Amino acid sequence: MFESAELGHKIDKQTYKKEVPILREALLDAQLELLQSARFPVIILISGVDGAGKGETVNILNEWMDPRHIRTHALDEPSDEELDRPVMWRYWRVLPPKGKIGILFRSWYSTPINNYLQGPSKNSELDQQLERINRFEKMLADEGALILKFWLHLSKEKQKIRLKTLEKDPKTRWRVTPRDWKNFKIYDRFHSVAESVLRRSSTSEAPWTIIEGSDPRYRYLAVGKAVLQALRARLDTAEIRQPHVTSPPVMPHIDTTSVLKRLDLSLSLGKNKYENELEKYQAKLNLLTRHGNFRNISVVILFEGSDAAGKGGSIRRITGAMDARMYHIIPVAAPTEEERAQPYLWRFWRHMPRHGHLAIFDRSWYGRVLVERIEGYCSQADWMRAYSEINDFEEQLVRHKTVIVKYWLSISKDEQLRRFQEREKTGFKHFKITEDDWRNREKWEQYELAVCDMIDRTSTEIAPWTLVEANDKNYARIKVLKTLCEAIENAL
Amino acid sequence: MFESAELGHKIDKQTYKKEVPILREALLDAQLELLQSARFPVIILISGVDGAGKGETVNILNEWMDPRHIRTHALDEPSDEELDRPVMWRYWRVLPPKGKIGILFRSWYSTPINNYLQGPSKNSELDQQLERINRFEKMLADEGALILKFWLHLSKEKQKIRLKTLEKDPKTRWRVTPRDWKNFKIYDRFHSVAESVLRRSSTSEAPWTIIEGSDPRYRYLAVGKAVLQALRARLDTAEIRQPHVTSPPVMPHIDTTSVLKRLDLSLSLGKNKYENELEKYQAKLNLLTRHGNFRNISVVILFEGSDAAGKGGSIRRITGAMDARMYHIIPVAAPTEEERAQPYLWRFWRHMPRHGHLAIFDRSWYGRVLVERIEGYCSQADWMRAYSEINDFEEQLVRHKTVIVKYWLSISKDEQLRRFQEREKTGFKHFKITEDDWRNREKWEQYELAVCDMIDRTSTEIAPWTLVEANDKNYARIKVLKTLCEAIENAL
């Protein structure tokens, strides 16, 4: 795998001087075109052995292109903020938006390789991490990102010479740390694990390019030309995203039964009973969030439901029981411009709470398989892959000790009509009813099918859906509070 | 995940009687169209809990469609033949060709789930097996296969009732085995692992469809309609396979150095030395293949090289040292009609040797990234993904104690010319030189680049390439024998 990168590739000074101006101009052109079209983001990973010139290569890319539209991130030790979230959160935060270039110096590959070399991880854990990375990169590619992964390589002998040379020169001595020499001692093991990682993560979506690092001119030209070639190839291709037709992921709905139709919407709760229970569960919820172990978990609550199903009222009964510093409510509406320039789940990842905190989503990432599916805001391929992307996402959260509580508030079509009419009559509720609401109502049956598919595909043991009979608001609110308390209690 | 499949779905007799004839006709039509167009194969997996009617469902599909074009495989315990090969070999053998339908009763999911439930596998092994399956299914989908995965589900209570009912009736009593009751006892664990497996293997290429198994009429109609819907969707779509443009997987070739150019083609061996060494290494090879441990490994040897590089001669020097019952030579030419109807690697999987045997490939699966790439016989996307598919393939072989020895025989362009001219002059060698050979020669430089890419992408620690300086036939043959002996010796 490293054969070509141990040949002593070299570019002479004259050739370099002749080629660089041409390459720079072409790179700048391509970068400008990328920026203006804003069709896709470019993610460049610079990894490799110590002393192979990773840092200098990052610098030269910034020098050759317009650095205002490049964001470089050197990801070293994770911060407290980052340790409090699932592993991939820190990478989601630094993804470049469409039209921009993100350069990652040390990437999502560093931690798996280091943990493996330093002992805590075993082979099987490395496998799991690589699988997670492969899925992540596939998602990025499906979302349109151009991913360029460079591995700067030095043979063992060349690495030794390089470290010694750097050490001799007073101007570069600081760059050689004791860690570098320590790493050098395990060169062979490092080489072997790197080989295995590169082999298994060279997917067709995001293959590695291995570049010999010993000669700076060769290294710069090679990386620069590879970036240019990939950028041009992508820019010069018209946007065709016609994915394979695959089998439909939906259950055949051949009879009239469904999980929704089976709900007993006549369930209700009298006023007195309601008030007693409300007090009881709010007190309980309050205690739970003050529990000593609560600092070690986070809670993500999400509400989905037809219009006027009572999401807001339920949320207020939850927040009424808690200290406002502990939670955030995230009302999900149409994505912002910034959010549209990112992969779909980005706008939700950014709101993931730290340990000891709760996030409450009023509508959620499930919009993809509900409204976006029904209204055609995304292609079938996009919402089809969303089911597995969402399951992946929630699994990462659960592994990181996040309690996920998902509510579908279910009301009947008649009850919705009653509430719509009431809202139109009541002054202060008038703003709550729009043309859209009436339009959505016409697609009631389509939505019901989409909800059933959603539940079938994403109600998992680790993150189950709770279906709430919500024709009676009192009953719904108590059921929500009660199941929330149970879920948190189980996790403490 | 199983919510919808525990509702007690039912279809009454009258509806069933009305719907079946319509469904059957539509299924037969679709099947005929599939057969005539022969555009893609259909792979149907029928899995699920005991007693949910898996067998009956397989039978009804055969009854409703034309069974001559369906191949049903019940994969139970692997045979000796199968145990002697990598795990996936038995599934490769039963893949349906384009235009046909293959139904797998018990599939590649059974063994991972059973091994996990019965103890030998741990969580991490299950993960690895699922990853392998996901890659396999992705490859199938990339090759155009339509994959339909059905999970027939019964709630715990329904399963109990079902087993008891079958036991009561003398006609069906035989179908309930002690194993079924043993499995019933671990229903909860089974349910939990099945849920996790289904969730993680519901990819956009090949999602699961969960169907409630308790009412036969519902079950049959649901499976039948889902098959029809998927078949129709695929048949009615024009063949558009325009994959995403991704970054080029090739190294930038910006200087004139390459692993091939670095070979010292002047290396040679005198006649006497050659004959001594030939005797020595052939004797050694013979002893190695008679070694007691040789029964526990298999050996796959492959030769690639320019035309007239001396592949045949090297192969004869190897086989000359061995018992003819131990090896097969597989000359790889254009694929047969049967092979063209299967995924690319199928024609190589079928020749994988049992333990204690050798297979020698004269040209190999690397044709995909050499001649097929250069001549445009497959799309760029196809040869791009071949690198990782091949690495996967070889990794499976190595895990199954297969020694892989890969030779690239390298000669200079001048030496090739000399040999071509010699062949044209020599009567009995005349048949060895064709128009194609002269045509390929014109693309010498393109081939060189493709070879370098191939080595960079697929020379791995577990299956490295051996580059052989082959201008001198004596030198080349000895190098081949010597490295082969070393590789086998290391494995014993």
Give the model confidence (pLDDT) of A213-223 as tens digits. 989 999 999 99
Closest residue, chain B, to A202 (C-alpha): B388
CA distance B141 to chain A (A): 8
Q: What integer is the mean pLDDT of B417-435?
A: 78
Q: Which letter does DSSP use for residue A262 in this model?
A: T
Cβ contact B127:B121 at 8 Å: no
Nearest to B255 among A9, A147, A204 (CB): A9
State residue B250's pLDDT score: 60
Number of inter-chain CB pairs under 8 A, A vs B: 217
Cβ contact A347:A339 at 8 Å: yes
**3 state DSSP class of A209:** strand
State residue A39's pLDDT score: 92
Q: How far is C-alpha B46 from the chain's CA centre?
A: 21
CA distance B131 to chain A (A): 7
CA–CA dist A249, A246 (Å, integer): 8
pLDDT in tens, B265-308: 999 999 999 999 999 999 999 999 999 999 999 999 999 999 89
**Which chain A residues are closer than 8 Å to B235 by Cβ?**
none
Q: Is the pLDDT at A326 greater than 90, yes or no? A: no
What whole-number percentage of chain B has pLDDT above 90? Answer: 48
Q: Which residue would you say has higher pLDDT here, B431 or A281?
A: A281
Q: Which residue would you say has higher pLDDT here, B172 or B377?
A: B377
pLDDT in tens, B201-222: 888 888 899 999 989 999 999 9
Q: Is the pLDDT at B326 greater than 80, yes or no? A: yes
Report the candidate in B329, B318, B246, B252 with the shortest Cα–Cα distance to residue B289: B318
CA–CA dist B364, B354 (Å, integer): 18
* Low-confidence winner among A75-79, B392-396, B474-478 (lowest mean pLDDT): A75-79
State residue B333's pLDDT score: 83
**Which chain A residues are closer than 8 Å to B205 by Cβ?**
244, 246
Q: Is the pLDDT at B10 greater than 70, yes or no? A: yes
State residue A280's pLDDT score: 96
State residue B427's pLDDT score: 65
pLDDT in tens, A153-200: 998 888 888 888 888 888 888 878 888 888 888 888 888 899 889 988
> Taking the CA of residue A256 as centre, how many other CA atoms within 13 Å lie in the half-sphere pointing to its CB?
2
Q: Is the pLDDT at A324 greater than 90, yes or no? A: no
Residue B235, burial from CB neighbour count under 10 angstroms (0-12, 13-18, 19+): middle
Cβ distance of A388 and B241 shorter than 8 Å = no
State residue A296's pLDDT score: 93
Calculate the average pLDDT of chain A.
88
State residue A265's pLDDT score: 94
CA–CA dist A52, A187 (Å, integer): 13
Nearest to B247 among A147, A211, A242 (CB): A147
State residue B25's pLDDT score: 94
What whole-number percentage of chain A has pLDDT above 70? Answer: 96
Cβ contact A452:A260 at 8 Å: yes
State residue B78's pLDDT score: 84
Q: What integer is the mean pLDDT of B456-484?
A: 94
Nearest to B252 among A8, A225, A388 (CB): A225
pLDDT in tens, A65-118: 988 888 888 887 888 888 888 888 989 988 999 999 999 988 899 888 888 888
List Cβ neighbours of A185 (8 Å cut-off, separation of 6 or more): none
- Give phi and psi for B222, each to the nearest 5: -65, -50
State residue B325's pLDDT score: 80
Q: How confident is the model at residue A431 (pLDDT cuts 50, 70, 90)?
A: low
State residue A469's pLDDT score: 96
State residue A222's pLDDT score: 92
State residue B40's pLDDT score: 93
Q: Is the pLDDT at A385 greater than 90, yes or no? A: no
Calculate the average pLDDT of chain B.
88
State residue A228's pLDDT score: 94
State residue A283's pLDDT score: 94
State residue B32's pLDDT score: 93
Q: What integer is the mean pLDDT of A292-312?
A: 94
Most confident of A64-73, A297-306, B110-119: A297-306
pLDDT in tens, A48-62: 988 888 888 998 998
Q: Is the pLDDT at B254 greater than 80, yes or no? A: no
Q: Please, where are the H alpha helices in A54-122?
A: 54-64, 80-83, 89-93, 110-117
Nearest to B127 among A127, A249, A255 (CB): A127
Q: What integer is the mean pLDDT of A249-253?
A: 64
Q: How confident is the model at residue B238 (pLDDT cuts 50, 70, 90)?
A: confident
Cβ distance of B125 and A127 shorter than 8 Å = no
Cβ contact A413:A438 at 8 Å: no
State residue B369's pLDDT score: 94
**3 state DSSP class of A439:** helix
Q: How confident is the model at residue B41 (pLDDT cuts 50, 70, 90)?
A: very high
**Which chain A residues are closer than 8 Å to B199 by Cβ?**
391, 460
Cβ contact B44:B72 at 8 Å: no
Report the candidate in A318, A345, A329, A331 with the shortest Cα–Cα distance to residue A488: A318
Q: Is the pLDDT at B473 greater than 60, yes or no? A: yes
Q: How confident is the model at residue A315 (pLDDT cuts 50, 70, 90)?
A: very high
State residue A388's pLDDT score: 87
Q: What integer is the mean pLDDT of A114-124?
A: 80
**Which chain B residues are closer than 8 Å to A5 by Cβ?**
456
State residue B359's pLDDT score: 94
CA–CA dist A5, B254 (Å, integer): 13
Nearest to A141 among B9, B209, B244 (CB): B244
CA–CA dist A154, A2 (Å, integer): 9
Q: What integer is the mean pLDDT of B87-104?
A: 91
Residue listed under structure tokens 């000891």: A356
**Which chain B residues are closer than 8 Å to A207 by Cβ?**
246-247, 249, 384, 387-388, 457
Return the amino acid letter for A390. Answer: I
State residue A288's pLDDT score: 95
Q: How confident is the model at residue B431 (pLDDT cuts 50, 70, 90)?
A: low
Could you tell me the two tokens for B460? 């791995």
Q: How confident is the model at residue A246 (pLDDT cuts 50, 70, 90)?
A: low
What does chain B come to in residues? 492
Could you tell me the two tokens for A226? 């590879």
The residues pairing with A407 across neighbouring beta strands, listed in sequence order, are A303, A466
Q: Is the pTM of this model over 0.90?
A: no
* Low-confidence winner among A406-410, B231-235, B295-299, B320-324 (lowest mean pLDDT): B320-324
Question: Angle between the A187-201 and A110-117 helix axes, to the nearest 10 degrees?
Answer: 140
Rounded to 10 degrees, the C-alpha dihedral A242/A247/A251/A255 comes to: 110
Residue B72, burial from CB neighbour count under 10 angstroms (0-12, 13-18, 19+): middle
Q: Is the pLDDT at A242 greater than 60, yes or no? A: no
CA–CA dist B297, B84 (Å, integer): 9
Q: Is the pLDDT at A387 greater than 80, yes or no? A: yes
State residue B322's pLDDT score: 86
Closest residue, chain A, to B197 (C-alpha): A460
Closest residue, chain A, to B244 (C-alpha): A241
The end-to-end CA distance of chain A, in Å, is: 48
List Cβ neighbours of A405 (8 Å cut-off, separation of 6 or more): A299, A300, A301, A302, A466, A483, A484, A487
Report the candidate in A328, A294, A356, A331 with the shortest Cα–Cα distance to residue A491: A294
State residue B349's pLDDT score: 93
State residue B173's pLDDT score: 82
